[in-house]
Amino acid sequence: MKAVHTELHRSHDPQFFLVRGVVKRTTEQPERADRLLKGLKDGKHQLVEPTKFGQGPRARIHSPEYLSFLSEAWEAWTALGDSGPEMIGNIHPVRHAATYPTHIVGKLGWHTADTAAPIGPGTWAAACAATDVAVTAAQMVMDGEDAVYALCRPPGHHAYRDMAGGFCFLNNSAIAAAHLRQKHERVVILDVDVHHGNGTQGIFYARPDVYTISIHADPVAYYPYVWGYAHERGEGAGLGANLNIPLAIGTGDDGYIQAMEVARKAIESFAPGALVIALGLDASEHDPLKGLAVTTPGFRRIGQAIAKLGLPTVFVQEGGYLSDILGANLTSVLAGFEEAR
Residue pLDDT, tens place only, 27-81: 899 999 999 999 999 999 999 999 999 999 999 999 999 999 999 999 999 999 9
Q: What percent of the chain has pLDDT over 70?
A: 100
Q: Give the separation between CA 134 and CA 130, rounded to whole angstroms.
A: 6
What count of residues does the chain have? 341
Greatest distance between any 2 Cα atoms in the chain? 57
Residue 334 φ then ψ, to 5°: -70, -35
Catalytic residue among 5, 12, 45, 158: 158
> Where residue 96 falls among pLDDT bands split at 50, 70, 90?
confident
Q: Give the separation between CA 75 and CA 71, rounded to whole angstroms.
A: 9
Q: Give the separation between CA 69 and CA 63, rounded to whole angstroms.
A: 10
3-state helix, strand, coil in the chain (%, to 5): 35, 15, 45
Q: Residue 296 in contact with residue 334, Cβ under 8 Å? A: no
pLDDT of residue 288: 83
**Which parts of the chain are beta strand (E)?**
2-4, 16-19, 22-25, 47-48, 147-150, 187-191, 210-217, 242-247, 274-279, 313-317
Q: Residue 333 in contact with residue 39, Cβ under 8 Å? A: no
Indicate the pTM of the whole model: 0.98
| First-last CA distance in the chain | 11
Dump pLDDT digits (tens) for 261-302: 999 999 999 999 999 999 999 999 999 888 999 999 999 999
pLDDT of residue 97: 83
Residue 155 φ then ψ, to 5°: -70, -175
pLDDT of residue 68: 98
Instruction: Give the fold, CATH level 3, of 2-12+26-51+126-340.
Output: Arginase; Chain A (3.40.800)
Amino acid type, 140: M
Residue 111 annotated in active site: no
